Amino acid sequence: MLEAATQLEFAVVERTKLVTAASELGRNALTHGKGGAMVLTQLFKEGHTGVQLVFADQGPGIANIEQAMTDGFSTARSMGLGLGGARRLVSEFSLQSQPGQGTTVTIIQWKRR
């Protein structure tokens, strides 16, 4: 993903935010979702350039999404900044989860002009 953002000439700060958010979401998929997959797509929409990352797992899902997005909440004895922190770092953030059916998180980072 860093290579894609670099090729698209994202600023250093934009690349750093994208990589940090992706690291948190990837860790969550491994820790809570027992693995999963990430798909990267380059976006070109109405003159804007972006990178979309979709993280999907087949883990236990999130019973209370609002609580999971709250800073300081953790089921893994961490700082509890993963989901909320990732949301603040990127342009767009979407989370879908059903208990027993896994979780999908989609993030988009748009390049500043």
Tell me what pLDDT residue 77 has: 54
How far apart CA 30 and CA 100 sit, in angstroms, is: 16
- 8-state DSSP, 112: P
Q: Which of 81, 108, 113 is nearest to 18 (CA)?
A: 108
Give 7-54 as a DSSP string: HTT--HHHHHHHHHHHHHHHHHHHHTTSS-EEEEEEEEETTEEEEEEE
Phi, psi of 35 (to 5 degrees): 115, -170
Tokens of 100: 């027993």
Q: How confident is the model at residue 2 (pLDDT cuts 50, 70, 90)?
A: confident
Domain-by-domain residue ranges, the chain?
Answer: 2-110
The domain made up of 2-110 is a member of CATH 3.30.565.10: yes
Question: Global pTM?
Answer: 0.89
pLDDT in tens, 31-79: 889 899 999 999 999 999 999 999 999 999 998 888 888 876 666 555 4
Tokens of 68: 């999971």
